Structure 1
Amino acid sequence: MATLDISRLTPKERLDLIGELWDSLSAADVTLTPAQVAELDRRLATFDADRRESIPWEDIDTELDRRSR
């Protein structure tokens, strides 16, 4: 197996490589601990609750435009 001297890569090339490696994994390749699953569930519940109280961007943009006149 050939090795890659990553120190010769630019920061952008290294970031691109990280992305390619991450994208090469399937969901089955990435296992979560029970604590991570619980945290994701908590964040999703918070996201859903916050979304119900959110204001559409168009409304905010209209209000900002109105205030800048």
Structure 2
Amino acid sequence: MATTVEKLAEQAMTLSTESRARLADLLVESLDAHELGHIDRLWVAEAKRRRDEVRNGRVEAIPGDEALQKVRDAVRR
């Protein structure tokens, strides 16, 4: 029985933050831009740009739960 994308995602979510980031990096790097549509190519470029900003220290990453709480707080105002 083949593993579905949903099962893989569920398993990936049990990884540490660092491991999930590494996995995301590997997945983005594996995309072949020539096979993607225009919008998908733009999203890949954006993902790589954001990754590089974090790696270079230009942007400080915050935990997802903290970011979601900030959004929830802003929406409640």
TM-score (norm 2): 0.36
Q: Specify which structure has the bigger relative contact order, considering alpha-carbon pairs within 8 angstroms and separated by 6 or more residues.
A: 2
TM-score (norm 1): 0.39
Q: Higher Cα Rg: structure 1 or 2?
A: 1
